[in-house]
Structure 1
Amino acid sequence: MAEDNSSAYDVKESLEAEIISSDYDVKESLEAAKFISEKAQDVHIDQEGIKKLTAHVITYLRENTDVYKLTNHCRRHATYPSENDSRAINWLFVLQTLNFALCNRKGRKQWAVDGAKGYIGLCIAIKRAIDEGKPIWDPNYYTKMTQSDLEYILRGDDDETSIPLIQERFTILRKVGEILLDKYDGTFVECVKAAEYDADKLLKLLFDEFESYRDEAEFEGLKVRLHSKAMSLIIDIWYYYKLHKFNNRFRLDTQKMMSTMFMDYRTPQVLLHFKVLRYSEMLVTRFENSDEPLQHGSREELEIRGCSLIAAQKLCEEVRRESKRYGKEIPLVKTRVFNVPILVDNYILGLTAYSHEELMKREPFHYVRSVYY
């Protein structure tokens, strides 16, 4: 599929001085999402829908004894670094750095790898490259790649459809690699050490050092930062080490963990399907009549993201309360691996995978042209 030639990354980068300005009051992550949801005009959260979806999650947990896969972050264990893999942090950094704009516009064939679309397709492509002997985790390698090399690594199942925004991916990967080589001894491990193994400090370092992680926009006169891609990376690293019991130094409070559902643009369709979210008639009409992408930082894009994240937060709170009521029937609740945000994200992502065609036909879909998630 041919994409237009303008670079979202280059346009955004040209505004960098304004973006990182300290002249505005800045709201971060959960506070930013709350602010957006309270001011939203075209997207609304429905508490009854949250209760309905909570009931589905609890029913699933009660009726399925093999639910370990729901606690395996984003259901991608087979594509992730294996235990004691020294490449793990750098591998995950490259994976999340490339984790943006993985859906083509509605009505067009979607990029897929081994039949998997979106984020899981990206996971498979990275694992495939490593299995083929390409050290894609190493900036010494990927800063010297050509765009054609990256196109081959991210090749889809046919010649008809390619991954969106390949030029932006190539530019971003080269730039983050150059920063690692110039300032961090060629490894993201040094970034983690510089952040003193602290999740909040690492989030700030990602924002300050790597432009493609500066997920910031203006909303109602304030700067809002949702950090979707950075949070996905941090949770990936934290969960990998927690799962394999290597390192307990990440001080990430799992009770305050936010959803990272925006690894897949289709997740708002699940929230719409269960009436957790409701769109205004104007917004529904826009999505029905046009496949023009929303721009990162537009009011509509921020309202969808902010309300989706707060809806997910409320859903987590409901699931946490309800799961305690059924503790005897849901043994998972008392295990070391039980984590409600990961559970909820995985359940929603699972619905997008298994109900993709139905959701695409029945619920409004928006394509976002962005390098930030």
Structure 2
Amino acid sequence: MVHGPCSNTPDPLWPSEAGKYIAERSKDVTVNDQAVKTAAEDAAKEFISESRTLQAFKDLPLHPNFADDAAIDFIFAVDTLNFCFWSDDPEETYKVKYKDTFYSGYWSIVAALKRAEDEGKPVFSAIFMSSVDLDEFKHIVRSDTIVEIPLLKERLKAYNEAGRVLLEKYDGSFSNCIRRCNKDAVQLVNILAADFSSYRDESVFDGRPIALYKRAQIAVADIWLCFEGRGLGEFSNIDKLTMFADYRVPQTLEYFGILQYSKELKEKLQNRETLQSGCRLESEIRGCSIEAVEKLKSETRKILLSNPETTKYAKIVNSITIDNHLWDFAASHRSKMAHLEFHRVRTIFY
């Protein structure tokens, strides 16, 4: 959030500071430091096995194969629509069929846009993004199950706004936005939050403005990963980014015993109560998740740096790669984690 020079409202705390601030005041969520150390051992083994690399982003089947301006347009459009895929009935979810494969969650919106591109729609173009109407957009994100995509109108609003701002401020290309930040990841996140309202993931906790910036940070992280930290993906302070506080990674952190919930919160989750966006419980889950991953990152690095033979693996350990490790674990162990309910919030921020 950008405040005027005469404003008495303090700037929101940056996500890492917000996470610490929330964790210190949290009443219903705690971070178990011993569980962090145990999970760090497993994370370190994954980095040592080299199953966690920057190349992995481009290796995924629906992602761009090359790091270029077209890839940046793809990332920006996808991340503008990357939020809230859960359905009221966990047995029936929004899915998109693309080339004989059904995709859900994050991959559903990637598949929908790829499908539309194959059908001749310039879905990664700022001109198209700014002008597409509800009927055409609804067709683009149509479901291949009985469950339609949640928050359809909110998605269209974000998509239209993103295209319009690109045309008005960045000559129609998010690449120009990246160039303006001078390799500063924090500045790019702040630009996203300032110029694109759907990325402005801010609220108030115990009287203090906080920023968690899940989608703004993941957009920058995706560019870093796609370019493998080079060219337009080179950021001098990429380690300033935190994990991406959504609903799946906290579920994984609970599975590992890192996040522990009060009886009252646990009952709400088990009953699948929908929490209000910006409420205290949501902020505690998200903020403590950020603080937990900051600790997990530090412990994983410490393990790798303690042995001369593994120090080389520590260089790509940051909150982005730790988050990806946790998110991938959730994706591949859904049945093991099925007994744990994630927190449910209808929001555009994650």
Please, what TM-score do these two structures have when normalized by structure 2? 0.88
The runs of at least 4 consecutive aligned structure 1 residues that moved more than 4 Å come to 72-76
Alignment-derived partner of residue 299 in structure 2: 318
Alignment-derived partner of residue 65 in structure 2: 82
Structure 1 residues not aligned, in runs of 5+? 1-15
From 307, 316, 319, give the equivalent of 2:288: 307
Assess if the C-alpha contact under 8 Å between 1:217 and 1:223 holds in 2. yes
Alignment-derived partner of residue 231 in structure 1: 217
TM-superposed deviation, 1:327:
5.3
Give runs of aligned pairs for residues 274-293 of structure 1, distance below 5 A: 274-289=256-271, 291-293=272-274
Letter in 2 for 1:354: S
TM-superposed deviation, 1:279:
0.4
2:13 is equivalent to residue 27 of structure 1: yes
Identity of aligned residues (%): 30
**Aligned partners of 1:76 and 1:170: how far apart in 2?**
29
Residues paired across the two proteins, number: 343
TM-superposed deviation, 1:316:
0.8
Q: CA distance change for structure 1 residues 306 and 85 in 2, over 3 Å: closer, same or farther? A: same
Output one character per residue of 1:53-83: Cα deviation in whole Å (capped at 9) or x when no partner: 1222234455x4x615x54466863322222
Letter in 2 for 1:79: L
2:76 is equivalent to residue 96 of structure 1: no
2:150 is equivalent to residue 145 of structure 1: no
Q: Which has the higher contact order (CA 8 A, sep 6+)?
A: 1
**Aligned partners of 1:112 and 1:238: how far apart in 2?**
28
Letter in 2 for 1:300: L
Structure 2 residues not aligned, in runs of 5+? none
Please, what TM-score do these two structures have when normalized by structure 1? 0.83
TM-superposed deviation, 1:98:
0.6
From 223, 239, 254, give the equivalent of 1:272: 254
2:237 is equivalent to residue 253 of structure 1: yes
TM-superposed deviation, 1:108:
4.9
Alignment-derived partner of residue 323 in structure 2: 345
From 79, 95, 102, give the equivalent of 1:112: 95
Output one character per residue of 1:167-215: Cα deviation in whole Å (capped at 9) or x when no partner: 1101211122122223322222232233344322222221221111111
Output one character per residue of 1:253-311: Cα deviation in whole Å (capped at 9) or x when no partner: 2443322353xx2221111111100000000111222x332222110110000000110
Q: CA distance change for structure 1 residues 292 and 108 in 2, over 3 Å: closer, same or farther? A: farther
**Aligned partners of 1:73 and 1:27: how far apart in 2?**
31
**Aligned partners of 2:178 and 2:169: how far apart in 1?**
13
Output one character per residue of 1:329-370: Cα deviation in whole Å (capped at 9) or x when no partner: x59717x7x33434322221122112213313x213211111
Output one character per residue of 1:192-250: Cα deviation in whole Å (capped at 9) or x when no partner: 2333443222222212211111111011111001111111111222332235x4346x4
Alignment-derived partner of residue 124 in structure 1: 111
